[in-house]
Amino acid sequence: MHRKKNLFQTLFVFLVVSVILFALSLFGFLKPVRGVFELLISPFQRTITKVSTRVSTSFQNDRLEKLEKEKRILAKQLVDWVNLQKENNALKDQFQTSLGISLNLLPAKVIGAPSFIPHVTSLETLILDKGQQDGVQEEMGVVFEGNAVGKITKTSQRLSIVMLVTNKEYWAPAKTVQTSALGVLKGKGNSEMVIDNVLLSEKLNTSDTIVTALGINTKGIGMPPDFIFGEITASEKKPSDLFQKAQVKSILDFTKLSTVFIVLGEK
């Protein structure tokens, strides 16, 4: 009986302390303290992620990895080539000009990649070692080798969480490279995406590349245009529907990312 009373008292004390901590954290009073603790624990996170990635990549084919990297480079070159062609045509027409944008990119190491079964099931988020003190804000885009990785959803003093483009809650305006069809790219989970809300009059070709559309807002936050989401694997077009859609597969393996780049804004 006495032991039970002690237990209830202890439970109550720790519950109250937890609630107080939560309230202080909510109003931002614990930011400096949090920063210090994050500095202390992030090396452990980094080590565990590195070891875990090394163990999983030791079972993988080097040749396959090389081919995947070449494919990503070629996909980016294709996008750049199509954009150059469009720029040339626009200049010839003398009706419009397109301005190249120079981006301010912050390299960030991936120190956490939590998933149901590590390196087996799909990833939904990444944890990066850059936070508010490095100028990172929510909604900033994250990219890697010309590919869109995701957007920042949470930040603390020294860490931030990236929602991947394949996450069920992710959506962003997108367009096709070949036909410039505009739509909305939505994550479906399980490393899959779909481009939806595309007008029936537009053409969606299988193997066409989907890239980010529109761009950074007036505050300098967002995903810049022409970063690759993935390739169309199958399209769905029913005359009775208002819009058509297509399945999109990313050409980036998120489980192998060790460094990504946060788009701080335009230079």
Partner 1 sequence: MLWLFGFFLFVIVFFEGTITTLPLTLQTLLVFYVLYKNSASIFLAFISGIILDLLSVRLLGTTSIYFVIFLFLVVLYERKFEINTIPFIILSSFFGSLGFLFLFGFQQSILQAVASSFFAVLLFKVFTVKKLDE
Shortest Cβ 106–partner 1 spacing (Å): 17
Q: Which residues contact 98 (CB under 8 A, 6 or more apart)?
A: 83, 86, 87, 90
Nearest to 220 by CA among 175, 164, 262: 262
In this structure, are residues 126 and 161 in contact, taking their beta carbons and an 8 Å threshold?
yes
Structure-block tokens of residue 69: 């990297």
The overall longest dimension of the chain from CA atoms, in Å, is 89
Where in 133-162 is the site for partner 1 (CB under 8 A)? 154-156, 159-161
Least distance CB 144 / partner 1 (angstroms): 20
Binding mask 15-34 for partner 1 (x = CB under 8 A): x-xxxxxxxxxx---x---x
Total residues contacting partner 1 by CB under 8 A comes to: 48
Least separation in angstroms between residue 48's CB and partner 1 is: 5
Q: Is the dihedral of CA 23, 25, 27, 32 positive or negative?
A: positive
Indicate the SS3 state at residue 58: coil
Nearer to partner 1, 20 or 90 (CB): 20
Q: Does 206 bind partner 1 (CB under 8 A)?
A: no
Interacting residues with partner 1 (CB under 8 A): 3-4, 6-8, 10-11, 14-15, 17-26, 30, 34, 37-38, 41, 44-45, 48-49, 52, 111-118, 121, 124, 127, 154-156, 159-161, 168, 189
